[in-house]
Amino acid sequence: MGMGTSVLSLRIDGELLERLRHHAAKRGMSVQDYVVRTLIRDDFDERFQAAVEETEKFYGLT
């Protein structure tokens, strides 16, 4: 069973929104898609880093 979607409402200042629009436009994406992709990537990076650290501990590399 897949996950549904939820609405997340954010209050951000105009300057940040302009920067998000700029970054999204450079990639041909909507601001929403850009933000979601960035959050997913950040979450993945965190979990990947944790996995690397666990592996290093296992092999006594740290």
Rounded Cα–Cα distance for residues 32 and 29 (Å)? 8
Task: Output the pTM of the full model.
Answer: 0.65
3-class DSSP string for 14-47? HHHHHHHHHHHHHCCCCHHHHHHHHHHHHHHHHH
The pLDDT tens digits of the residues spanning 15-39 come to 999 999 999 999 999 999 999 999 9
Rounded Cα–Cα distance for residues 62 and 59 (Å)? 8
Rounded Cα–Cα distance for residues 35 and 13 (Å)? 15
The pLDDT tens digits of the residues spanning 40-61 come to 999 989 988 898 899 888 888 7
